């Protein structure tokens, strides 16, 4: 919300101060302009984009609309995403329902962008702890979203002893704790924000659990290392094997199986130095001689639309 409102405010400020940008108005002029890299950067309109479902909260791929625009996600895949939480709505059906299923093509080839700037507040705590005011983000850490499915066997809590249980919920709990510990050891992050189980009865041991696994790292290789380790160790833990301190206590049951499904894969991103300098120098100019350490370069710890658009110069 802040990013969109701030963008609109920036346009309003430009209008109030009678700042005009030069840009082509027709298809012929645009195609000619794209052949000239220097003109492409100096003659551009300025606009605000509110990308649909960028958080991936309702339809489970983050930055999906900017991904379609960049050519990284097929349009049909984005349309066919089904909402989380058990509903049946697709992204296409909801866009149509609210009147936002437009005719203008979401494509970098048809509607190119010269540069993209995005305002975020999520790095605020880091700036506050270091005494900073404005962060010039150099890049975004890598992250992957997986759906982990644990399959066991439903059974009655009173008539089935521990040795004969395939407890999917207990196994899932061990996996979630283990993902946290392994991520900490490797200097990464691992989190679970969604968990569902079946059948969902007080006196029934769940035979099915599905949970989200969000893994992040500044380094692509570290993220891959974490995933490789967890895939191997999740299978062992689910089978009842001892991994570190996991499965050293309690009673061993009959074991479960684990399945992985990749939802989102976003590699680490390095932003264009000219864009980073633009933010950095503008911030210092605004703060004046007192800027000092108030303006800091940093790496974003969360996904950003700008990371999806990282290939814009090459795309154009």
pLDDT band at 31 (very low <50, low <70, confident <90, very high): very low
Q: Give the CATH number, domain containing residue 214.
A: 3.30.70.360
167: tokens are 């407890």
As given in the structure block, the two tokens for residue 267 are 């590699």
In a domain, 155, yes or no: yes
pLDDT tens, 260-280?
A: 999 989 899 888 899 999 999
Please tell me the pTM assigned to this model.
Answer: 0.69
Domain-located, residue 81 = no
Residue 34 pLDDT greater than 50, yes or no: no
Mean pLDDT, range 67-81, rounded to an integer: 94
Share of the chain above pLDDT 90, in %: 62
Q: Domain range spanning residue 236?
A: 142-266
* Reported confidence tier of residue 310, pLDDT bands at 50, 70, 90: low
Of 293 and 232, the structure prediction assigns the larger pLDDT to: 232
Half-sphere exposure of 94 (CA within 13 A, CB side): 15
Is residue 99 in some structural domain? Answer: no
Query: Residue 40 falls within a domain, yes or no?
Result: no
114-123, 261-270, 280-289, 295-304: segment of lowest average pLDDT: 295-304
Q: Give the CB-side neighbour count of residue 75, counting CA atoms within 13 A.
A: 9
Whether residue 32 lies inside any domain: the answer is no
Q: Does the pLDDT at position 40 exceed 90? A: no
| 165: in domain | yes
- For residue 124, pLDDT over 60 is answered with yes
pLDDT, position 39: 47
How many domains, in total, are found in the chain?
A: 1
Contacts of 64 by beta carbon, 8 Å cutoff, 6+ apart? 52, 53, 54, 56, 73, 78, 81, 91
With a cut of 60, say whether residue 286 has pLDDT above it. Answer: yes
For the purposes of burial, counting CB atoms within 10 Å of the CB of 84, is it exposed (0-12), middle (13-18) or buried (19 or more)? middle
Q: What is the dihedral of CA 5, 8, 291, 125, to 10 degrees?
A: 20
Give the pLDDT band of residue 73 (cuts 50, 70, 90).
very high
State which H helix or E strand residue 11 sits in: helix 2-16
Higher-confidence residue: 309 or 194?
194
Segment among 60-69, 75-84, 201-210 with least mean pLDDT: 60-69
Is residue 242 included in any domain, yes or no?
A: yes
C-alpha to C-alpha distance for 296 and 298, rounded to whole angstroms: 6
Is residue 224's pLDDT more than 50? yes
Residue 226: inside a domain: yes
**The token pair that represents 183 in the structure block:** 């991520």
The helix/strand/coil state of 196 is strand
């Amino acid at each position: 919300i802040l990013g969109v409102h701030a963008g609109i405010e920036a346009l309003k400020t430009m209008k109030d101060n009678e700042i005009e940008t030069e840009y082509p108005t027709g298809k012929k002029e645009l195609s000619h302009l794209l052949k000239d890299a220097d003109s492409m950067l100096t003659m551009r309109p300025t606009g605000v984009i509110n990308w649909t479902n960028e958080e991936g909260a309702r339809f489970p791929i983050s930055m999906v609309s900017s991904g379609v625009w960049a050519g990284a996600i097929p349009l049909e895949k984005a349309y066919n995403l089904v909402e989380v939480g058990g509903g049946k709505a697709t992204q296409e059906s909801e866009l149509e329902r609210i009147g936002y299923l437009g005719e203008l093509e979401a494509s970098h080839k048809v509607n190119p962008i010269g540069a993209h700037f995005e305002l975020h507040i999520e790095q605020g705590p880091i700036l506050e702890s270091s005494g900073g005011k404005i962060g010039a983000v150099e890049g975004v850490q890598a992250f992957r979203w997986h759906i982990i499915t644990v399959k066991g066997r439903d059974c009655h809590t009173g008539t089935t002893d521990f040795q004969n249980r395939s407890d999917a919920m207990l196994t899932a709990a061990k996996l979630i704790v283990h993902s946290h510990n392994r991520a900490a050891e490797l200097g990464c992050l691992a989190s679970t924000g969604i968990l569902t189980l079946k059948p969902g009865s007080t006196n029934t041991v769940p035979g099915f659990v599905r949970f989200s696994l969000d893994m992040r790292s500044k380094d692509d290789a570290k993220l891959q290392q974490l995933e490789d380790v967890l895939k191997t160790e999740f299978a062992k833990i689910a089978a009842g094997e001892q991994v570190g301190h996991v499965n050293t206590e309690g009673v061993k049951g009959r074991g479960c199986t684990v399945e992985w499904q990749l939802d989102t894969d976003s590699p680490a991103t390095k932003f264009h130095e000219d864009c980073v300098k633009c933010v950095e120098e503008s911030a210092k100019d605004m703060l004046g001689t007192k800027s000092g350490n108030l303006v800091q370069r940093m790496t974003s710890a969360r996904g950003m639309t700008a990371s999806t658009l990282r290939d814009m110069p090459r795309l154009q």
